[in-house]
Amino acid sequence: MANALPPDDLPGGFWYPHGYIRLIECGLLTLEPWHVLDGAQVQDKRSGLAERFPSRRLLPFAARQDNDDCACWDLDRGSEVVAIVHDYASPGYENRGEYATFYDWLRQAVEDFIEFDLGYDEILKPQSG
């Protein structure tokens, strides 16, 4: 799984949720505006988040293409909680939302996909004249 970190690189006590593994196995790597990060992107984003938000233990797995939000497992809240973090925000202002489980986040990602796509429908709709 190129999109997952090797077990030796995972934080102690953390295992990928089954739903995430299934998402990768099924090749569902892009649900615009979200895209699943590959291993190198995870490492880069993780390092940046640790530098910008040193009081948080975050493991990113997806990022939005239309803003600086990223979906992360919030390791201080347990292995299931997904935090939406606005990268590059000032510390204390980075929280954009949270989901109790990966599947809760995935449901919202599908809703975001639909909303994002509907925006394109409006752009591409022929103008009556």
Does residue 20 form part of some domain?
A: yes
Does residue 91 form part of some domain?
A: yes
Number of domains in the chain: 1
Does residue 76 form part of some domain?
A: yes
**Residue 124 banded pLDDT, cuts 50, 70, 90:** low
Give residue 39's identity as a one-letter amino acid code.
G
Does residue 104 form part of some domain?
A: no
Question: What b-and-e string marks burial along 97-115, b requiring 16 or more CB atoms within 10 Å of the CB?
Answer: ebbeebbebbebbeebeee
Residue 50 belongs to what domain range?
Answer: 15-97
Does residue 80 form part of some domain?
A: yes
Does residue 118 form part of some domain?
A: no
* Mean pLDDT along residues 3-27: 90
Q: Is 66 a residue whose pLDDT tops 60? A: yes
pLDDT in tens, 76-111: 998 899 999 999 999 999 999 999 999 999 999 999
Does residue 9 form part of some domain?
A: no
Does residue 124 form part of some domain?
A: no
